[in-house]
Amino acid sequence: GDSVTQMEGPVTLSEEAFLTINCTYTATGYPSLFWYVQYPGEGLQLLLKATKADDKGSNKGFEATYRKETTSFHLEKGSVQVSDSAVYFCASSIQGAQKLVFGQGTRLTINP
């Protein structure tokens, strides 16, 4: 069945470091792909999305490119800030269904 696999955390970086969080998916057909962010004590917020192959989603300095050939949607940011500390979830739509399937989440901590 459809699934999403994220790199295991936690990930700890220093401020201004380069960030990559890996995400790969298995799906029937061509899903839409999403990254969500969860700040402490809050629900999930949509960070970015891509709906077809080679699309690049971007928001708040974060980017992710939909790679059909590698079935990946890695999240990147060139220079992280302390305020980026949060849990990040990769998600994939399921073709023909109204649901999303989520990865297990990656906890990111940025130290000043």
Instruction: Tell me if 43 contacts another protein by CB under 8 A.
Output: yes
Binding mask 52-91 for another protein (x = CB under 8 A): -------------------------------------x--
∠ CA(27), CA(22), CA(66), 5° rounding?
50
Binding mask 1-40 for another protein (x = CB under 8 A): ------------------------------xx-x-x----
Reported in sequence order, the residue ranges of the chain that DSSP labels E, i.e. its strands, are 3-6, 11-14, 19-21, 23-26, 33-38, 44-50, 56-59, 62-65, 75-77, 86-93, 100-102, 106-111
Nearer to another protein, 80 or 103 (CB): 103
Shortest distance (Å) from residue 102 CB to another protein: 4
**Distance from C-alpha of 69 to C-alpha of 71, rounded to nearest angstrom:** 6
Amino acid at the residue 14: S
Interface with another protein (CB under 8 A): 31-32, 34, 36, 41-46, 49, 51, 89, 93-95, 98-100, 102-105
